[in-house]
Amino acid sequence: MTLTVLAVDDSRTMRDMIRLALVPNGFSVHVAEDGLDGLDVLSGLAPDVIITDINMPRMDGFGFIDAVRAQEDHRATPILVLTTESAADLKMRARNAGATGWIVKPFDPGKLVKALHMVTG
């Protein structure tokens, strides 16, 4: 079964790394450059899981998670935060916004694949 992933990150390098980690493992990967772009891409997509950065221009990860959770179709879609941040208060804020999990960059590709399989169960 192919899992569809939406990866939202303002870093082209990070988007490429996510794609390189996931595509060979059978994932279909769609990317967006920030929260607003992510919402545009999401409008035509039914992802099994969403990966988002926190620090992005135009709309950050918190705003993006809030906007996704406000949509009926995506209330239960798992959202993993992939960021350089590791502060407990930010993790709590992300959880309160509706994030499913938190992965700190730089990420281990194998662990990312495992985490995605865990949250999509």
Name which residue leads in pLDDT, 121 or 113.
113
Q: What's the pLDDT score for residue 1?
A: 73
Stretch 24-42: mean pLDDT: 97
Q: Residues 59-102: pLDDT tens digits?
A: 999 999 999 999 999 999 999 999 998 899 999 999 999 999 99
CATH code, domain with 49: 3.40.50.2300
Query: pLDDT value at position 67?
Result: 97
Domain count, the chain: 1
Residue-range definition of the domain harbouring residue 29 = 3-120
Strand partners, 93: none
Residue 43 clears pLDDT 90, i.e. is over it: yes
Distances in whole angstroms, Cα of residue 104 to Cα of each of 44, 52, 54, 78: 28, 11, 11, 17
The model carries a pTM of 0.95
For residue 110, give both structure tokens.
């194998």
What kind and span of H or E run contains 17? helix 12-22
Q: Give phi and psi for 31, each to the nearest 5.
A: -125, 155
